[in-house]
Structure 1
């Protein structure tokens, strides 16, 4: 099944790839790797903000991480000149969680992105990853995730 078909089955329409907010590029191709800059938690209502362990639960954070994963796929599609089927596999996700010093469920939060990648991409979505705490993130967002993809 194509990635686009699977996303459609999941009720997901990829947005236009978000533009960078500062002096950087949204992705860099190097050989058969596509490095995608950090994508922040946002939905149709704007940024998803908050601090895990203070005013957000791990479940809230996982939902925010899922939005990051959708933005990552939008950047992937842009980086592949519109042909997302060029994806060979997700290599690595690095997730940053805006959380209190005593919050320890960063992996549960980033599972929102990891689970979505496997649900949408099957075996191509399995990846290595890191899930780390941050005392704050840009614009007060709850989650930021960057990715490395292998493409053909």
Structure 2
């Protein structure tokens, strides 16, 4: 099954590449690797603001991380032209806006990891890091960056 058939089955429409909010580019390719800049969680077109351990639940975080993954897919599509060229999702790095006593960053990040597995199957299994941070630009609850290998 093509990646696009899988996206259709999951009722996912790829968004356009977001305009960077600072001095960077949305993606860079070197050799067979594509590095996507961090994407923040958005809700209703604005930063999905909040902090885990204060005013957001882990389940809300999984939904936010999944939303970030959809945005990352849109940027990856723009970078490579065809998501079927993806040989592997190599690594995710997830920053989770959290209080000092919140310890479920890994579960929040599962929202993105699980979507990549659904979309790419075995090619979506990846290495990853999930960090708790004191703040993310615009107060966003989650920011995720991605590295992919293309063929």
Whole-Å Cα distance in 2 between the matches of residues 123 and 28 of structure 1?
A: 24
Alignment RMSD, CA only?
A: 0.8
Shift of 1:44: 3.3
Secondary structure of 1:94 counterpart: strand
Secondary structure of 1:61 counterpart: helix
Shift of 1:120: 1.3
Secondary structure of 1:100 counterpart: coil
Whole-Å Cα distance in 2 between the matches of residues 17 and 84 of structure 1?
A: 14
Q: How high is the TM-score relative to the length of structure 2?
A: 0.97
Q: How high is the TM-score relative to the length of structure 1?
A: 0.97
Could you tell me which residue of structure 2 aligns to residue 141 of structure 1? 140
Whole-Å Cα distance in 2 between the matches of residues 141 and 67 of structure 1?
A: 12
Shift of 1:45: 4.2
Could you tell me which residue of structure 2 aligns to residue 127 of structure 1? 126
Whole-Å Cα distance in 1 between the matches of residues 73 and 149 of structure 2?
A: 12
Q: Structure 2: 5+ residue runs without aligned partners?
A: none
Whole-Å Cα distance in 2 between the matches of residues 69 and 118 of structure 1?
A: 11
Whole-Å Cα distance in 1 between the matches of residues 69 and 126 of structure 2?
A: 13
Deviation per CA, 1:90-129, whole angstroms, max 9, x where unpaired? 0000000000000000000000000111011111110000
Could you tell me which residue of structure 1 aligns to residue 23 of structure 2? 23
Secondary structure of 1:102 counterpart: coil
Whole-Å Cα distance in 2 between the matches of residues 43 and 33 of structure 1?
A: 29
Q: Structure 1: 5+ residue runs without aligned partners?
A: none
Whole-Å Cα distance in 1 between the matches of residues 141 and 3 of structure 2?
A: 27
Are residues 1:77 and 2:77 paired? Answer: yes
Q: Which moved more, 1:38-47 or 1:129-138?
A: 38-47
Whole-Å Cα distance in 2 between the matches of residues 13 and 124 of structure 1?
A: 20
Could you tell me which residue of structure 2 aligns to residue 115 of structure 1? 114
Secondary structure of 1:97 counterpart: strand
Shift of 1:48: 1.0
